[in-house]
Amino acid sequence: MMNSLRIFTTGVLSLALVGAPVFPAIAVSDELRVRGADRDVLHEERTIRSSAASYRSDEILVKFKDAQKASRVTVPHGVSVEDFLGSFTHRGDVEYAEPNYIATAYAAPNDPYYSYQWHFDNASYGGIHMNNAWDVSQGAGVTVAIVDTGIAYEDYSIYLKAPDFSNTMFVPGYDFVSNDTHPNDENGHGTHVAGTVAEGTNNNSGVAGIAYQAALMPVRVLDGSGSGSYADVADGIMWAADNGAQVINLSLGGPTSSDTLRDAVAYAYNKGVTIVAASGNDNGVVGYPAAYDDYVIAVGATRFDEARAPYSNYGASLDIVAPGGDLNVDQNGDGYGDGVLQQTFSGSPRSFGYYFFQGTSMATPHVAGVAALVIANGNATSPVDVRTALQTTADDLGTAGRDDYFGHGLVNAPAALAYTSGGSGGDPTPNVNDPPVANAGPDVSVTDTDGNGLETVTLDGSASYDSDGSIVSYEWRTVSGTLLGTEALLTQSFSLGSSTITLTVTDNEGLSSSDSTDVMVSAVPPIVTIFSDSFEVSEWNGLWTEDSQNDWFRSSQRATQGSRSAEIDGTANNAALISQTIAMPQGKTTANISFDWYIESSLDSGEYVAMDVSVNGGSWTEKARILGNVDQENTWHAVNVQLSASSSVRIRFRGYMNSSNEDANVDNVVVIAQ
């Protein structure tokens, strides 16, 4: 393996909102059209709830042990309720004593379509319990930046202000797409997102928003198609931080990490801004910027039944979930797919309706809105404290405790507002994901054995690993960037020469690293014939010698090359024909010996001809044998023997037979050095 440089992927030049091509699962459908009957759907829902901070100062409630119910007891003049309660603490005749709390009639918002906003509150589950939260905070004094496709926030040029924003406060924003001070929406996505955060509420119109007394800051970084560059997104984040945003909502994302994007969220975070971002909609790993754990609260999506939405991204970077909806089901039975409802437009920025959307884009503003409520309430204001308030009070879903599919759980607005520092656990530890380790395997050196200029090689990246997650993708690429394969094992044909191949692995949180290996394909060394004899010139031709039995001779009885061969017959007891010493050329280490031999049918069992070799002056080793009554007789057999030799080779043929009528032949002996 080459010395590897671990590279974390950076540098994607475009960014798409969650629900556009990068996060493709967002759908826009099921417009809730304004009809006369629809306006009669909502009736005032009155519930009696007590306020923990409000009770009568002139009396308390005391339950005596012999009484059927608590009695009202007047608090003496000049005595506090707390002190008076203390006087009953140790009395043996008292079962309990408590303040006489004040109960108030609490009404759900009178917005006519609020009953369709199951994601805010409902009688069963799925929502974030907004009815109880609004009695504590409405987000006054907090500015939330919507960094998105813009907002339909003003009547300007061809644009109109969305009617449900008539009571919503806006602060100046900026358009980084058109480079002007009118960040009007040309897509509809940003308007829908902004409505969830701070739509006008309790105004007898349309739908409700979470932090409806907060101010919205429109920052346009995505164009009418829902796409924008990382540079514009980064500029928008930093501009919002510099111009007073306390919360930034990022219902957008890309699949690739970027130093520019990371620096932007770090800049805003260090200026005290709480940053909330969508995890993504492709049922994969958390995208960017949500995956920047140190600075961003990453939000996943749930359905009405509090199950993870099937599109919602997950992993170690996920912090919290919120309702994002699922338009494929109607679990609440209201006749519409269970999306998130807000006012926006589709097509013309002058014609508005009420649309159900789904996606982590829709979940994210729920969390941003609750963050604004918490900051306005004052129980948490710094990014660390806001994160702690949201995460430690979330409704735990899935596996007990934090898990990769629900994070810390479903955001709970009133519980977050009740959070006090030191009361519900400590500061959350940001989820830090370690990158994977790529291992492209050792360098490979092969020879083009068939001489066609190509050789097939298998590269093995299976030794790559991820210490805190899993590897979800493999990419093998050439130096020029050509993709060769996407599996751990790559089988590929390589041409002559050296090729550097880089393996990039990506883990389930989107971090990547790379390692390279070199593949060297060498040409077949030129063939050099260092010995050749077909016994045509003269007997032994100075190339062979016999032992003392002298049973070999040059014969014209049969041959495969020319008309002559070496023959043995008669009474032979391993009678030998021995070659001269055959020198190996410098740099050649392989000898290929080929020859033909023949035995007549007259050879008996146990009779044979054998071929031996001696390498580098060493002892003899038998390499081949042809046996009478075993191997096919009366025919030529071609034999090839390959061996390693660095300096020299000798060849010996031996015959064993007991009659002059028993013959065997050897012909066409060739030694090639490679």
Residue tagged active-site, from 227, 279, 361, 512: 361
* Nearest of 296, 203, 289, 214 to residue 253 by alpha carbon: 289
Cα 414 off chain centre by = 34
Scan for tokens 């009395």, then name that residue. 91
Catalytic, 361? Answer: yes
* Nearest of 258, 292, 509, 525 to residue 387 by alpha carbon: 292
* Nearest of 274, 226, 273 to residue 254 by alpha carbon: 226
Scan for tokens 């083009």, then name that residue. 448
How does strand 71-74 pair with strand 483-485? Answer: unpaired
* CA terminus-to-terminus distance, the chain: 29
Strand segments, DSSP code E, in 264-421 are 274-278, 296-302, 320-323, 340-345, 352-357
Scan for tokens 């449900």, then name that residue. 164
Residue tagged active-site, from 189, 192, 366, 408: 189
- 3-state SS assignment for residue 351: coil
Q: Name, in order, each residue with C-beta under 8 angstroms of 470's C-beta and a sequence gap of 6 or more.
A: 507, 508
* Nearest of 200, 215, 157 to residue 181 by alpha carbon: 157
The Cα–Cα gap between 263 and 289 comes to: 10
Amino acid at 395: D
Main-chain dihedrals φ then ψ at residue 268, nearest 5 degrees: -65, -45
The Cα–Cα gap between 185 and 458 comes to: 52
> Do 199 and 206 meet the contact criterion of CB atoms below 8 Å apart?
yes
What counts of helices (H) and strands (E) characterise the chain? Answer: 8, 34
The Cα–Cα gap between 227 and 219 comes to: 14
Residue tagged active-site, from 30, 121, 148, 596: 148
The Cα–Cα gap between 332 and 348 comes to: 31
The conformation of residue 20, written as its DSSP 8-state character, comes to B
Cα 55 off chain centre by = 54
| DSSP codes joined into one string, 305-331 | TSPBPTT--BSTT--EEEE--BTT--T
Catalytic, 14? Answer: no
Catalytic, 467? Answer: no
* Nearest of 464, 425, 422, 457 to residue 443 by alpha carbon: 457
How does strand 215-220 pair with strand 454-460? Answer: unpaired
> Do 600 and 634 meet the contact criterion of CB atoms below 8 Å apart?
yes
The first and second tokens of residue 536, run together, are 């045509």
The conformation of residue 40, written as its DSSP 8-state character, comes to G
Amino acid at 508: N
The Cα–Cα gap between 571 and 551 comes to: 8
Residues found in the chain: 674
Scan for tokens 């918490």, then name that residue. 374
Q: Name, in order, each residue with C-beta under 8 angstroms of 334's C-beta and a sequence gap of 6 or more.
A: 115, 116, 118
- Helix or strand run (H / E) with residue 238: helix 230-242
The conformation of residue 293, written as its DSSP 8-state character, comes to T
Cα 89 off chain centre by = 59
> Do 139 and 211 meet the contact criterion of CB atoms below 8 Å apart?
yes
> Do 73 and 60 meet the contact criterion of CB atoms below 8 Å apart?
yes
Please list the active-site residues: 148, 189, 361
